[in-house]
Amino acid sequence: MPKILDVKNLSVHFASPQGHTQAVDRVSFHLDQGETLGIVGESGSGKSVTALSIMRLLPSPPAGISSEAITLYPRDGGSKEIEISTLGESEMQRLRGAEIAMIFQEPMTSLNPVFRCGDQVTEAIRLHQKVDAEAARKQTLLLFEKVRLPDPERIFRSYPHQISGGQKQRVMIAMAMSCKPGILIADEPTTALDVTVQKAILDLMRELKEESGLSMLFISHDLGVISDICDRVLVMYQGKIVEEGPVQKILRNPEHPYTRGLVACRPSLKHKWHRMPTVSDFLDNSRHEAQVVSADETEQRRKSLYDSDPLLQVKDMLVRFPAEKNWLGRPVKWLNAVDRVSFDVFQGETFGLAGESGCGKTTLGKAIARLTDMDSGQIIYNGTALHDLSIEAFKPYRRDIQVVFQDPYSSLNPRMAIGRAIMEPMQVHKRFDSDKQRREKAVELLETVGLQADQFQRYPHEFSGGQRQRICIARALALEPRFLVCDEIVSALDVSVQATVLNLLADLQEKYGLTYLFISHDLSVIKQMCDRLLVMNKGKVEAVGYPEDIFRNPEREYVRELIAAIPGKE
């Protein structure tokens, strides 16, 4: 196959008052016509920066881009090559969208909120093709049909906030395809989406590619997704390409230690590990053989877990939100976020709560911690009916039931040193008599979650996502809770970091006998972590039981779809 894009020795650095960061370091690769090339790596590895610098979308300064050559070859076998790195801004502008199009990670923020979806697509068409408004409109509607948007006319008129995340990404794809580009760069296009939506989008992209002979550069941190869609893959680590080759070869026979770690640290659907393998195990070559939990061990654990009475019983929980209000502001229609859900959680257990966004799993977790009100139902914790307690009487139970939230970036106060943040709940609940003791406890907790005592005075922005999530866990542990609600706590983290946080949770459970309500949209993580799981859909229970039963033999169609949508299953 002839090449369509050739990148030679691309380097990107960022200059800041603090110094000089080399984001991409002499990267060379090529893209063949009709090929899908994956770039995989963790956040900060330089994969997005590489893509953005091909499109010249990086603000410069602070970015400094240099390359020997970035050459775009003509699609139709003509001889006119374009050297992108020497193009002027106005020539570059004509190239963007027409020859190379791009879709981005966040469909929620990638569309302009104040313009209608249709107008945002026609704008690109009219710009590059010089057609009139009516022709552009017709083309757009056709494209919407092609990306399988329901009711194209309605989507055309809708503003981005009126359609779902998956639909927004379809609009983005339609926009990118509108001028029939030769190359499509997709920067984590499905990371922010639910698994089933992700699968549909991947299917669509594959189809569009085959239909139009498009070449794709597909960026993702998720090897599973990459293996589903790509022909060839580049592995990037610290700004360099460390390995390159056909996807199947890389997955089966990774050579570089980083790649080996990346392949190994994904939660497996086949078996449960004692400890998740992590990337650092491979990088410093101190790898212990990852041990699989045997059937006997599982049996034994279950015996000891389910011997006693449940620690938490939820009965017929109903939480609803007003969906429509009349002119007096009185709700006339309700949306049942949690629709009469019942389950038990036992002491020391990890109980998984799975489902897609909007299924009510977060609301359920919040209702248990009483961060949102229940309309009816019962919550019985350790024999006490929590739902009957006044706010004042509930207070002691707040110590027992703690929550760790999804986004480690926004759940820490940026102006509070992390040590203070860990001490704060102890002060509120008057745990210990003096701040000195609380400080000692906070330091101890920092060390427990794998941070250092001398980081006590640091502020959240100085930490990475994984470290921040550790801080949040330490803060939750400050009150010595027995029950921890973990709401999507690894969703915002890279796969490689995810494994280390999951290992930490397992260690803490062993050490303190904690009980987890583990909420996640990622079934493979749930399967790795949980003793039992509950699958929710639209507020209702779809399945509840042991993971192996549900995975092997899903009764409901919805659960089957959910399992089928997990990327990268061999």
Partner 1 sequence: MAIYILRRLGYGLLVMLLVVTTISGIIFLAPVDPAQLTFGQRSDVSTVEAKTAELGLDQPLYMQLLHYLKDISPVSLEPDKADHLRKYRYHTLFRVGNEQLLVLKLPYLRESYQTGRPVSEILAEVIPATALLAFTALLLASLLGIFFGIVAALKAHSRWDQLISVISVFGYSLPSYVTAMLLALIFGYMLGAWTGLDIQGSLFVIDDFGDWQLRWQNLILPALALGLRPVALITQLTRSAMLDVLSQDYVRTATAKGIPARIVVVKHALRNALNPIVSAISGWFAALLTGAFFVENVFNFKGLGAATVTALLNFDIPVVLGCVLFTSVVFVVINLLADLLYAWLDPRVVMR
Q: Where on the phi/psi map is residue 292: left (φ > 0), alpha (ψ -120 to 50), or beta?
A: beta
The residue among 178 and 190 lying less far from partner 1, judged by its C-beta, is 178
Token pair recorded at residue 359: 């299924």
**Closest by alpha carbon to 256, among 248, 247, 244?**
244
We find the least distance from the C-beta atom of residue 371 to partner 1, in angstroms, to be 25
CB of 451 to partner 1, least distance (A): 30
- Three-state SS at 40: strand
In the complex, the smallest distance separating the C-beta of residue 52 from partner 1, rounded to whole angstroms, is: 8
CB of 133 to partner 1, least distance (A): 16
Q: Which is nearer to partner 1, 170 or 260 (CB)?
A: 170
CB of 414: closest distance to partner 1 in angstroms? Answer: 17
- Helix (H), strand (E) at residue 440: helix 435-448
Supply the minimum distance, in Å, between the C-beta of residue 227 and partner 1: 27
**Residue environment code for 470-501, b if the CB has 16+ CB neighbours within 10 A, otherwise e:** bbbbbbbbbbebbbbbbbbbbbbbbbbbbbbb
What 8-state DSSP symbol labels residue 45?
A: S
Closest distance of CB 410 from partner 1, Å: 17
The CB-of-430 to partner 1 minimum distance in angstroms stands at 41
Please, which residue, 104 or 218, has the CB nearer to partner 1? 104
3-state helix, strand, coil in the chain (%, to 5): 40, 25, 35
* Integer Cα distance of 256 and 378 in angstroms: 53
Residue 381 and residue 400 in contact, taking contact as beta carbons nearer than 8 Å: yes
Contact 196, 537 (CB under 8 A): no
DSSP strands (E only) in 386-487: 401-404, 483-487
**Bridge partners, residue 27, by sequence:** 10
Catalog residues that contact partner 1 under the rule CB under 8 A: 55, 57, 89-90, 93-98, 101-102, 104, 106, 109-115, 123-124, 127-128, 159, 161, 172, 175-176, 178-179, 325, 327, 329
Closer residue to partner 1 (CB): 112 or 452: 112
Question: Which of 114, 391 has the CB closer to partner 1?
Answer: 114
Estimate the crossing angle of helix 435-448 against helix 465-477, to 10 degrees: 130
CB of 206 to partner 1, least distance (A): 22
Closer to partner 1 by Cβ: residue 1 or 328? 328
Own/partner pairs for 556-564, CB < 8 Å, 24+ apart? 559/535, 561/196, 562/195, 562/196, 562/354, 562/356, 562/523, 562/535, 563/523, 564/199
The minimum distance between CB 342 and partner 1, in angstroms, equals 35
Tokens 């796969």 locate to: 495
Within 10 A of 197 (CB to CB), how many other CB atoms are there? 21
Q: Which is nearer to partner 1, 93 or 294 (CB)?
A: 93
Judged by beta carbon, residue 98 or residue 305, the one nearer partner 1 is: 98
